Homo-oligomer: A and B are copies of this chain.
Amino acid sequence: MAGRLKHFGWGREGEGLTAEEEKAAIERYHRLFGVEHFAEIAPPALPEIELRPPRITPPPTLTPHCSIERYDRAAHTYGKSFADYARALTGNYDNAPDVVAYPRNEAEVRAVVDWAGSAQAALIPFGAGSSVVGGVEPKIDGTSCHAAISLDLRHLDRVVEIDRTSRAARIEAGVFGPALEEQLRPHGLTLRHFPQSFEYSTLGGWIATRSGGHFASLYTHIDEFVESLRIITPRGVVETRRLPGSGAGPSPDRLFIGSEGILGVITEAWMRLQDRPRFRAGGAIRFADFFLAARAVRAIAQAGLYPANCRILDPQEAQNTGAGDGTAAILVLAFESADHPLDAWIGRALECCADHGGTPEHPGKADTHREGAAGMWRTAFIRMPYARERLIRRAIITDTFETAITWERFEAFHDKVKAATEAAIREATGRPGQVTCRFTHVYPDGPAPYFTFHAFGRHGDLLSQWRAIKSAAGDALIAAGGTITHHHAVGRDHRQWYDQQRPDLFASAVRAAKREIDPQGMLNPGVLIDP
């Protein structure tokens, strides 16, 4: 926790791949692309980054909690998408915020919102900046805003109140994942929301983006854990009532969950928590191919067993992450409970696997979640974000996208999306790349497939090459009936596909709601809808 967050790359300064990890990662790409040497360029060092002079100045009362320093502005210009890295690599910081605000409490958040209103400045809630969809970029072209303020709630990082009986806590929205879990641990409680960005994302960011977390089934999104919300808007405070369930009109929470900062700034939430798990059962199961594994997972998802983990890796993805040898799909399956042994649960799930030809990797071992294939994959999963900032220096384009589709369409859908992405890679880069797939979450009525692609690009063209590939993938998955995002959010990058996906009248309704709550259109303009 020593360093400050990097202005370019994942995590904090001083963190990253070891030389050994980096070597191993690069070697795979030598083999994949048949390339002997990757010409490497470096992103500009902080002092080399050119920023326009700030267009606004904070009022005196806010000055102590605002920064116009180069580091703060550069570190709040981008999220962590490929397009962000590609632009930062070439020194493009045109959309840097004019000011970064670090309020220490809700009163200061309100003061920043008021100031932004009077300055006609866009206000961009930053979370911890790990958006991969252009959700935190202070881009104000084409809006009526004169400047941009990035709002960083890192100081609102406390668990304020714990209700052990109901297993819930009132939590400030700026808390990062590890600090949240640390404060819950003494109470024997856990949110168990572990997105890949866990270390560098915040509770407020999770809620604003409908983050997908730890649980592969049942409680797939943060949505289900929100008991109530507190939100600062330009028109005042919204606080929803703390209830375990309600049927009183459309859910107020559900309007703000997923609103990506366009309707207000989430400052606090009562969250439903879990007891810390004491029982675990699981392991890795091999299948001859991805679709056989998918059928087993469908059976499990429809059986009402609710595994905490139920991830299939296709054979190539299994090999890439060290979880397999490339000849089989691997299902990483895990049940967990704070209450009871899980023999009946895992027993029945393994029968579902056997019905579709699945064979356990280590038969007889119940808990291999942190060992073997499952453990290998887990390590790769956690280290992956650190790899991308190193790969792009070598013009290696690697990115992911996730979606969801009902079971009866899944197999054809998978093939179409994969083929379209592969074809786009060939066309954009002049050579084949690789597209792999896994399931991150599963539902009784369908899976959430998660695609990863790898392509060898050209420095100078990386952004347009990536965009061509991303567009082909987005077009294919929208045409085939999927969603443009299952848990990465919409931001600015997914707008063209989201605009096809959501009903027009729903967009009109949200636009009308936004005009009511944010009459100046200053909250994260360009995200989700046009003002």
Q: Do A404 and B245 touch across chains, with their CB atoms under 8 A apart? A: yes
Q: Do B444 and A167 touch across chains, with their CB atoms under 8 A apart? A: yes
Q: Do B343 and A348 touch across chains, with their CB atoms under 8 A apart? A: no
| CB-contact partner of A220 in B167, B245, B408, B517, under 8 A | B245
Q: Do B249 and A258 touch across chains, with their CB atoms under 8 A apart? A: yes
Question: Which of A82-90, A235-243, A429-437 contacts its partner?
Answer: A235-243
Q: Do B481 and A242 touch across chains, with their CB atoms under 8 A apart? A: yes
| CB-contact partner of A166 in B244, B304, B407, B516, under 8 A | B407
- Using a CB-CB cutoff of 8 Å, which residues 287-344 of chain A contact chain B? 298, 302-306, 337-340, 343-344
Question: Which of A35-43, A53-61, A507-515 contacts its partner?
Answer: A507-515
Known contacts: A244-B446, A275-B302. The answer to whether A165 contacts B408 by CB under 8 A is yes
Question: Which of A22-30, A97-105, A206-214, A370-378 contacts its partner?
Answer: A206-214
Q: Do A247 and B348 touch across chains, with their CB atoms under 8 A apart? A: no
Q: How far is the CB of A490 from chain B (nearest CB, A)?
A: 5
A418 part of interface (Cβ distance < 8 Å): no
Q: Do A165 and B407 touch across chains, with their CB atoms under 8 A apart? A: yes
Alpha-carbon distance between A498 and B444 when the two chains are bound, in angstroms: 34
Q: Which of A344, A348, A515: most chain B CB closer than 10 A?
A: A344
| CB-contact partner of A210 in B165, B247, B256, under 8 A | B247
Q: Do B408 and A166 touch across chains, with their CB atoms under 8 A apart? A: yes
- Using a CB-CB cutoff of 8 Å, which residues 438-467 of chain A contact chain B? 441, 443-448
Known contacts: A513-B509, A513-B512. The answer to whether A486 contacts B247 by CB under 8 A is yes
Known contacts: A251-B258, A406-B168, A486-B246. The answer to whether A512 contacts B516 by CB under 8 A is yes
A338 to chain B: which residues have CB within 8 Å? 303-304
A298 to chain B: which residues have CB within 8 Å? 165
Q: How far is the CB of A91 from chain B (nearest CB, A)?
A: 32
A151 part of interface (Cβ distance < 8 Å): no
Alpha-carbon distance between A252 and B259 when the two chains are bound, in angstroms: 12
Q: How far is the CB of A45 from chain B (nearest CB, A)?
A: 36
Q: Do B248 and A485 touch across chains, with their CB atoms under 8 A apart? A: yes
Known contacts: A252-B502, A505-B233, A509-B255. The answer to whether A247 contacts B489 by CB under 8 A is yes
A227 part of interface (Cβ distance < 8 Å): yes
A483 to chain B: which residues have CB within 8 Å? 241, 243, 245-248
- Using a CB-CB cutoff of 8 Å, which residues 472-531 of chain A contact chain B? 481-490, 494, 498, 501-506, 508-513, 515-517, 528
* A-B pairs with lowest CB-CB distance, top 4: A244-B446, A344-B344, A509-B513, A210-B247
* Interface pairs (29), CB distance under 8 Å: A166-B444, A227-B406, A236-B504, A237-B505, A238-B506, A239-B503, A241-B483, A244-B406, A244-B448, A245-B448, A246-B404, A246-B486, A247-B258, A248-B258, A248-B489, A248-B490, A249-B258, A249-B498, A251-B258, A252-B502, A254-B254, A255-B506, A304-B306, A304-B337, A505-B517, A508-B517, A510-B513, A511-B516, A512-B515
B-binding residues in A (CB < 8 A): 163-168, 209-212, 218, 220-221, 227, 233, 235-252, 254-260, 263, 272, 275, 298, 302-306, 337-340, 343-345, 348, 404-408, 441, 443-448, 481-490, 494, 498, 501-506, 508-513, 515-517, 528
